Structure 1
Amino acid sequence: MTTHYDDEAQVEQLRAWWKENWLALVAGLVIGLAAIFGWEGWQHHKEKRAADASQMYEELKDALSANKTDVAKPLADKLTAEFADTPYAADAELRVAAQAEQAGNYEDAAKALQWVRDHAKDKGLQQVATLRSARILWQQGKLDDALKLAEANKSEAFAPLFDELTGDIKLAKGDRKAARSDYQKAYDATPEDQPSRQLLQRKLDDLSETEPS
């Protein structure tokens, strides 16, 4: 049977324990709340950054569609400077490069593609940028540089595209046999339902039709 004395002893014991441990309990509570609100704050920060980058990217696409390069360029620069860790920055540079290439501004296109090769988190985007960089060198007549870049960075997933490009470059260098070999590799690795396979077949046919007898 519990006595009044026992109750008072337990109360005193609880008071003593609280006196010794209240600071640790309060500190733990503060740390726990800080962690919760800190996580929520970080999540909000990430969501806001993503939203800002997305909006900027849409504005850039609209500017490029309207051929307003003077508007698009500052947007691309801001994306790469402030949102480099988002996929929007790399996509923006790829679009800027495409616009510059169409306009014949190969140096500007090469710079934008180099940024993607150096900073994109996605390996696929890096491969696309490398492929297009090699193509630009080919268009500039820098055949040896183009071939070296393409052959040194070929990946399995993008092999048909790289093989086709190296075939184009070797053909431009006058090496028809090597070009045909690369076209054939690209053709064999391309699924039948892909339109690019028909183009490769035409390239192979053109070489066959003009082979010296």
Structure 2
Amino acid sequence: MAYDLEEQEQLASIKAWWSKYGNLLTWVLIIALAAYAAWTGWNTYLNKQSQQASQLYDEQLHAVEAKDNAKVLRAATDMQDKFSGTAYAQMSALVAAKAAFEANDVDNAKKQLQWVIDHGRDAEYKAIASIRLAGLLLDAKAYDEGLKLLAGDFPAQFAGAVADRKGDILVAQDKRDDARAAYQLALDKTDQRSPGRQLIQLKLDAIGGAPAKAAA
């Protein structure tokens, strides 16, 4: 009898607790389950997007090998329209820019590089696009635009390449003192083992620069 009484008290306590907190607990569970379902669905969507983008990127690379530049550009446009949130979109735009440049289609090369700068999500890809676009602006004698493009923040590993490109533009402007400083900085920020150091040193020497300092 004592056991039955104790059990009844426990049941009464549980009922009282449920009466007070049951609705809240139910809503918490519903929200948690909905959040989990949304998270699972979103990841499934992202995986599907990534797979489709990967297939389109492979098609683009085949078009590059075939030198079908129109198809290369179409693939880049499709990638940007449908899969702009994936890394493949940035990679695809860089591939399209290179193919366009090699086909003497400078306008489309610039367009693709600018897309990466404006819409890219990874600082590394944006840095690559900025350096390459600055080179095209140098060729077009748009020196101020090129320097402005290189004035932003870049990942540390691109410091040497950015300074080198600045040096090229400054030489074209006949600003030799500034160019020497830029090339020296490029040497300081470029790894000693990098094959690009020799070219930077040659450019520095060509404008009467001092011997290269040890890399930082």
Distance 2:30 2:164 in 1: 62
Distance 1:154 1:36 in 2: 37
Matching of residue 73 in structure 1 with residue 62 in structure 2: no
How big is the shift at 1:28? 8.0
Matching of residue 40 in structure 1 with residue 29 in structure 2: no
* Conservation of the 8 A alpha-carbon contact between 1:151 and 1:166: no
Where 1:63 maps in the other structure, the secondary structure is helix
**Which residues in structure 2 correspond to 1:44-193 (within 5 Å)?**
44-152=44-152, 156-193=156-193
TM-superposition CA deviations, 1:39-96 (whole Å, max 9, x none): 4333322211111111111111111121112222222111101111111001100111
Per the normalisation by structure 1, the TM-score is 0.79
Q: Which runs of 5+ in 2 are unaligned?
A: 210-216
* Conservation of the 8 A alpha-carbon contact between 2:69 and 2:103: no
Letter in 2 for 1:188: D
Distance 1:45 1:110 in 2: 31
**Which residues in structure 2 correspond to 1:202-213 (within 5 Å)?**
202-208=202-208
Distance 1:165 1:27 in 2: 59
Per the normalisation by structure 2, the TM-score is 0.78
TM-superposition CA deviations, 1:135-183 (whole Å, max 9, x none): 1011122223223322355664422112111211122222333322211
How big is the shift at 1:117? 0.6
Distance 2:133 2:93 in 1: 13
Q: In structure 2, do the counterparts of structure 1 residues 168 and 28 end up closer, same or farther at CA, with 3 Å as the change threshold?
A: closer
Q: In structure 2, do the counterparts of structure 1 residues 27 and 68 end up closer, same or farther at CA, with 3 Å as the change threshold?
A: same
Where 1:96 maps in the other structure, the secondary structure is helix
* Conservation of the 8 A alpha-carbon contact between 1:130 and 1:153: no
Q: In structure 2, do the counterparts of structure 1 residues 7 and 78 end up closer, same or farther at CA, with 3 Å as the change threshold?
A: same
CA RMSD across the alignment: 3.4
Size of the aligned set, in residue pairs, is 209
Q: Which runs of 5+ in 1 are unaligned?
A: none
Q: In structure 2, do the counterparts of structure 1 residues 137 and 28 end up closer, same or farther at CA, with 3 Å as the change threshold?
A: closer
Distance 2:58 2:29 in 1: 43
Which stretch of the first structure deviates more once superposed, 24-33 or 41-50? Answer: 24-33
Letter in 2 for 1:88: Y
TM-superposition CA deviations, 1:102-135 (whole Å, max 9, x none): 2222111111111101111111211111111111
Letter in 2 for 1:71: K
Distance 2:99 2:58 in 1: 16
* Identical columns (%): 34
